[in-house]
Amino acid sequence: MTTQWQHATNKSAESWDQELDRMANRDAVLVNELIRRGEYVKPTQQGIDVAQQLFEENVNATRQYRWKNQAELVHWSSRFVNFLTEAEFLRKLNKVGEVAGFRGVYNDWSVKGMRGLSFINRDGSKKKYVCAIQAGCMPEYSIMRFDEHFLPQNEMYRGWRTVLLRTLDAGLATEQQLHEVFGEPTLGVGSRRYREELWNIRNFCTKQNPWAN
């Protein structure tokens, strides 16, 4: 039985064999270019076997650096859903701010598809940067990018619930205030990590004054 991997290079699940086939197709393009240049040296079967063995050994060697249940982070069907535009997200966030005592503002510019989000306190005397949001339109949950060894690299898309977690972790709003406006997360594989992080913040993060500094 092959192990199913949700790889960030494809919106559908890829088995191990499919992953190898995908890389083989990529390599075929390079081989054709070398043939065109007259620089291609045909590999021996022994060389192919050694290369495949080394690749599998490298993948296994990096296994310890993978995140627990990391395949959830590219579960497209449950995470790449319920999109909000920048304007819709900020409108909802500022509805929370009416109760929590802040106003959210975006940077006037975006860089590499991300736009900075800051919070201004109720009297306008302090401004606090929180994180960047996905410019344009954002899914409910973040989608991660992985390398050829299935190690997490960075976010391909940042979800709006990731921004809610940053807001909550910074002490700018409560879980109840956020969920009254944005709604409770549905149960399932897509929301499991979000719900786990909520539990961690609820039980291990000390209360703080976000405007103290």
pLDDT per residue as tens digits for the range 85-135: 999 999 999 999 999 999 999 999 889 899 999 999 999 999 999 999 999
Q: Which 8-state DSSP code applies to residue 42?
A: P
pTM exceeds 0.75 for this model? no
Considering the domain architecture, whether residues 110 and 196 belong to the same structural domain is answered as: yes
Considering the domain architecture, whether residues 104 and 186 belong to the same structural domain is answered as: yes
Considering the domain architecture, whether residues 88 and 163 belong to the same structural domain is answered as: yes
- Report whether 158 contacts 83 (CB < 8 A): no
Q: Which pLDDT score is estimated for 10? A: 41
Say if 209 falls within a structural domain: no
Say if 30 falls within a structural domain: yes
Whether 185 shows a pLDDT value over 60: the answer reads yes
Say if 90 falls within a structural domain: yes
**Cβ partners under 8 Å of residue 46, min gap 6:** none
Instruction: Give how many domains the chain has, as a whole number.
Output: 2
Say if 18 falls within a structural domain: yes
Rounded CA separation 45/38 (Å): 21
Considering the domain architecture, whether residues 81 and 151 belong to the same structural domain is answered as: yes
Q: Which pLDDT score is estimated for 72? A: 78
**Cβ partners under 8 Å of residue 24, min gap 6:** none
Considering the domain architecture, whether residues 57 and 137 belong to the same structural domain is answered as: no
- Can you tell me whether residue 129 is helix, strand or coil? strand
Domain hosting 54: range is 4-61
Q: Which tens digit of pLDDT belongs to each residue from 49-65?
A: 666 666 565 555 555 65
Considering the domain architecture, whether residues 113 and 24 belong to the same structural domain is answered as: no
Say if 210 falls within a structural domain: no
Antiparallel, parallel or unpaired: β 84-85 and 14-15: unpaired
